[in-house]
């Protein structure tokens, strides 16, 4: 069993540029272009232990497709195919199959490597896949009881500034600043507004709310938000259950007076929000719709929902 200095369980190997190397050998040069200018793309993918003891990756193909879309947006030429990256993720987990008893978090990343410097440089693209055991991103208690959120003083970047269909490394500085501000102020997460003052998303999650009439709302893809794969999963689950979801813009004070809020994302999974800007959300605890989504989601990733079986790739 291997662990980092913070005792996080992680793989013994890294898939780097087409081959498996020891974890400590997964290194890049200090002159790597992406380190200086942020030109890289990445994904977060979870693998879960299913109810029958197998290991399954959730929506693997969709994540890899988005990785390639992000690279295309950034004009990063990928030296591998989608199939090769899918296989890389699975190969890495197969090598560590007995290590991740509780599942694993996969991080494929592609970035401009070292060579020429300057904003106009075009260097070969490096690609890596790492894996570690990452628990509930916003904490087990947060998943159970809900978190406290703060509307950030930082604004989500405009759609002509932030390439919103890309999961691009450098763009996450905006999220880092918002997250740090929220945590230093005593909150668990930040909620960012767009330049018009409408709710966009959290620092690393999409957002859903349920108003007092029971209407479920989430910002539309015309907003400066990531086209989240967990967001898409939740939309399908809700609509398959007969519920209507409006993809519309709404204001921060709509959050203050709604009945439920929950966040969605690969890392955060389904996390309820019990308070925004010191205002209790509904009864101040997870609500029925968010609880339904959370329970259905966890049943799905553990292979207990046959109608969504196609979303699981078994290792």
- State both tokens at 75: 């004009």
Mean residue pLDDT of the chain comes to 95
pTM of the model: 0.94
150 is catalytic: no
pLDDT > 90 in the chain, percent: 90
Write down the pLDDT at residue 5.
36
Band of the pLDDT at 97, cuts 50, 70, 90? Answer: confident
What's the pLDDT band for 7 if we cut at 50, 70, 90?
Answer: low
pLDDT digits (tens, 9 = 90+) for 261-270: 999 999 999 9
Q: Of 141, 63, 50, 140, whose CA–CA distance to 102 is shortest?
A: 50
Categorize the per-residue pLDDT at 3 as very low, low, confident or very high, splitting at 50, 70 and 90: very low
pLDDT band at 4 (very low <50, low <70, confident <90, very high): very low
Per-residue pLDDT of 285-313, as tens digits, reads 999 999 999 999 999 999 999 999 999 99
Domains and their CATH numbers in the chain? 13-132 (3.30.470.10), 140-301 (3.20.10.10)
3-state helix/strand/coil string of the chain = CCECCCCCEECCEEEECCEEEEHHHCCCCCCCHHHHHCCEEECCEEEEECCCCCEEEECHHHHHHHHHHHHHHHCCCCCCCHHHHHHHHHHHHHHCCCCCCCCEEEEEEEEECCCCCCCCCCCCEEEEEEEECCCCCCCHHHHHHCEEEEEEEEECCCCCCCCCCCCEHHHHHHHHHHHHHHHHCCCCEEEEECCCCEEEEECCCEEEEECCCCCEEECCCCCCCCCCHHHHHHHHHHHHCCCCEEECCCEHHHHHCCCEEEEEECCCEEEEEEEECCEECCCCCCCHHHHHHHHHHHHHHCCCCHHHHHHEEEC
Going 279 to 151 to 146 to 207, the CA torsion angle's sign is positive
The one catalytic residue among 97, 141, 150, 167? 167
CA distance 6 to 11: 14
Greater confidence (1 vs 61) lies with 61
Return contacts of 125-128, CB within 8 angstroms, 24+ apart.
125/71, 125/76, 125/77, 125/78, 125/79, 126/16, 126/17, 126/28, 126/32, 127/16, 127/17, 127/18, 127/78, 127/79, 127/80, 127/85, 128/14, 128/15, 128/16, 128/17, 128/26
Ramachandran region of residue 72, left (φ > 0), alpha (ψ -120 to 50) or beta? alpha
> Any residues with CB less than 8 A from the CB of 254 and at least 6 apart, and which?
199, 209, 211, 217
* Cβ(264)–Cβ(231) below 8 Å: yes
């Amino acid at each position: 069993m291997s662990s980092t200095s913070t005792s996080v369980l992680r793989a013994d190997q890294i898939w780097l540029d087409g081959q498996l190397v020891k974890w400590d050998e997964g290194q890049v040069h200090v002159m790597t272009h992406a380190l200086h200018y942020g030109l890289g793309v990445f994904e977060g993918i979870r693998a879960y232990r299913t109810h029958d003891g197998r290991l399954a990756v959730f929506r693997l193909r969709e994540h890899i497709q988005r990785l390639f879309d992000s690279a295309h947006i950034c004009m990063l030429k990928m030296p591998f195919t989608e199939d090769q990256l899918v296989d890389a993720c699975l190969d890495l987990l197969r090598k560590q199959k007995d290590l991740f008893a509780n599942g694993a978090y996969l991080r494929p990343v592609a970035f401009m490597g070292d060579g020429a410097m300057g904003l106009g440089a075009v260097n070969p693209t490096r690609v890596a896949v790492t894996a570690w055991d990452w628990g509930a991103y916003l904490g087990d208690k947060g998943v159970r009881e809900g978190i406290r959120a703060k509307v950030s003083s930082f604004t989500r970047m405009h759609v002509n500034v932030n390439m919103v269909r890309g999961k691009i490394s450098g763009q996450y500085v905006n999220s880092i600043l918002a997250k740090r501000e929220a945590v230093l102020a005593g909150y668990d997460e930040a909620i960012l507004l767009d330049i018009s003052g409408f709710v966009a998303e959290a620092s690393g999650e999409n957002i859903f709310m349920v108003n007092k009439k029971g209407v479920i709302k989430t910002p539309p893809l015309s907003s400066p938000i990531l086209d989240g794969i967990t967001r898409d999963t939740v939309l399908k689950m809700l609509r398959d259950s007969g519920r209507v979801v409006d993809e519309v813009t709404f204001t921060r004070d709509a959050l203050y007076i709604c009945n439920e809020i929950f966040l969605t994302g690969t890392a955060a999974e389904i996390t309820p929000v019990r308070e925004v800007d010191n205002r209790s959300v509904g009864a101040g605890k997870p609500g029925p719709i968010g609880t339904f989504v959370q329970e259905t989601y966890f049943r799905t990733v553990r292979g207990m929902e046959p109608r969504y079986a196609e979303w699981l790739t078994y290792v």
